[in-house]
Amino acid sequence: MATSALSKVSTLLRPIAARRSIGPIGIDFGLESVHLVQFESVNGASPTLRARASVPIVLSREALLDDPAELRAVLRKALSSDAFKGREAVVALPVGLFRTMSINYLSSPEKDDGAAVLRVMKDRLDGDLADYVIDYLPVNSRSKNNERLALVAVSEREPIVALLEALRRAGLTVDALEIGPVAIGRLVSALAAENDSGNALVINAGRDASYLTLISGDDLLFDQQIRFGENALVNQLAETLDLSGELARDLMMRGGIQPSHDAVASTIDEAGLGDTIAEILKPEFLRLVDEIKRVCLYAAAETRGGAVNKVYLLGSLAHWPGADELLGNLADMHVEKIQDPLQTFRTDEAHSGEAALSPELAVATGLALRESDHYG
């Protein structure tokens, strides 16, 4: 009996093994690289970074997804570059395979909202609804009647089936396909100092186009592509200063619009180019400001006068020193770069020596957070 009692006490005093939960791999196929992020959590704590990778695409994104052998090779290289575990993935639908639109529909307590959304979409789309994959995000009601707002994502069915088959043949188990704006909204919620009901605008700047995503609290209100990108800015600078595109881009990346205090920037500032660059680029940035103001008006209309009180800058322009300051000054708003989407999730033990400037990982980070109890 004594031995049995002692054994029970000994068992009770043993340290409890930590329960480690590993999330899906968030995968975003960018124009130039494939980005992957995976999180893990211990005993239900907030997720921490387990693995990340960015692998350049030699072919175009479309060619990569159409080439099973190359796709397998790229994913194998990425997954072997860090401590990724498993092959379950949440994958972002590549831009071009979907479009988004905001719709108003009439909700009924007795009927499913999905049927009401499909009735509206039937008049918006050509052909049979069976030819499309349709998903929607209802926005919390701010009206007293039965009219509701939803953001709808629409894709043609055949390309989606082909994408899923390509990913399956590459060895992935796709838990979900998701659009980038949803992933970005989840990331912004995770990075926010406090979860309030304010409106936030996210500008995800690309080489030839940018995307404006409007978030109200936990709701995704609006997403739109606009013709504003890094290449247009570089070309404007190159033509005005009679530089090659490569040299103009290097000038911006190293010195920026409002030079910092390193040696290169100081030289530029002494030469008087800082203000000159800002003046050259101002017309292009003002085009973006016009789009921002239009989104602000939309936010006010849909949220009963709610203002956009946060603007986040992602993508290629998040690498440019001073881009946030110039845009903020022109728009008379505070603009904040998200240069390191992983900043909240890094630990001292893992990935502490990595470069922090990785705004391109924003979508993959949001995807990887999909199943988190904290941000999913």
CA dist 212 and 181 (Å) reads 9
Q: What pLDDT score was predicted for residue 25?
A: 97
In the chain, where the domains are located:
99-156, 193-338
Q: How confident is the model at residue 260 (pLDDT cuts 50, 70, 90)?
A: very low
Mean pLDDT of 139-150: 73
Among 86-90, 158-162, 215-219, 286-290, the minimum mean pLDDT is found in 215-219
Mean pLDDT of 137-164: 84
Look at residue 261 and tell me whether its pLDDT is greater than 50.
no
DSSP lists the bridge partners of residue 55 as: 34
CA dist 25 and 36 (Å) reads 6
Mean pLDDT of 63-74: 92
Neighbours of 247 (CB within 10 A): 14
| Tokens standing for residue 326 | 């110039």
Which phi and psi (to 5°) does residue 326 adopt? Answer: -65, -45
Q: What pLDDT score was predicted for residue 129?
A: 94
Q: What pLDDT score was predicted for residue 218?
A: 75
Look at residue 9 and tell me whether its pLDDT is greater than 90.
no
Higher-confidence position of 67 and 351: 67
Does domain 99-156 match CATH 3.30.1490?
A: yes
Higher-confidence position of 374 and 213: 213
Average pLDDT, the chain: 84
Among 24-38, 77-91, 143-157, the minimum mean pLDDT is found in 143-157
Mean pLDDT of 151-179: 94
Per cent of the chain over pLDDT 90 is 50
Does domain 193-338 match CATH 3.30.590.20?
A: no
Torsion-angle region of 12 (φ positive above 0: left; ψ -120 to 50: alpha; else: beta): alpha
